[in-house]
């Protein structure tokens, strides 16, 4: 059983640029959630996708958007990057049959 994998592990972007982060969910999981974890903070919910549809959104502006694909993998896109977007971005997958969340190791985004 494979876990949740995220790519890339690290990246550096310039303010104003756009970035795409990727997540492959655990086998058998059809729900993917994205979280932003700023340094020294707990993760904050960005949004969730269930069977390719957005299924809940946290307090993040529209420049944070996402996709879920038929194989349940997912992308997080962030436009017009700001310095405060620097954080660890975590992806978590789960099955609609239980609340077992499996997290990936995250993507460390630095905006300069």
Q: State the Cα angle at 78 between 92 and 16, rounded to 5°.
A: 150
Site for other proteins in 82-111 (CB under 8 A): 90, 92, 94, 99-106, 108
Site for other proteins in 56-75 (CB under 8 A): 56, 58
Handedness of CA 5, 98, 61, 88 (dihedral sign): negative
Residues 6+ apart with CB under 8 A from 100: 94
Minimum distance from residue 62 beta carbon to other proteins (Å):
18
Two tokens, residue 82: 């700001």
Q: Which CA distances in Å does 77 have to 17, 58, 68, 83, 107?
A: 11, 15, 12, 16, 13
Binding characters for other proteins, 10-39, by CB under 8 A (x = yes): ---------------------x-x-x----
The answer to whether residue 4 forms part of the interface with other proteins (CB under 8 A) is yes
- CB count in 10 Å sphere of residue 109: 21
Site size for other proteins (CB under 8 A): 26
User: Which is closer to other proteins, CB of 3 or CB of 16?
Assistant: 3
Q: Which residues of this chain interact with other proteins, rule CB under 8 A?
A: 4, 31, 33, 35, 40-45, 48, 55-56, 58, 90, 92, 94, 99-106, 108
């Amino acid at each position: 059983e494979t876990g949740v994998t995220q790519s890339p592990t690290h990246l550096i972007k310039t303010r104003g640029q756009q970035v795409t982060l990727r997540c492959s969910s655990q086998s058998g999981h059809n729900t993917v959630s994205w979280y932003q974890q700023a340094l020294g903070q707990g993760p904050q919910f960005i949004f969730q996708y269930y069977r390719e549809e957005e299924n809940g959104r946290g307090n993040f502006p529209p420049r944070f958007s996402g996709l879920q694909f038929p194989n349940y993998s997912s992308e997080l896109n962030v436009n017009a990057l700001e310095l405060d977007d620097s954080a660890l971005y975590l992806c978590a997958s789960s099955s609609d049959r239980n609340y077992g969340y499996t997290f990936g190791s995250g993507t460390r985004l630095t905006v300069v």
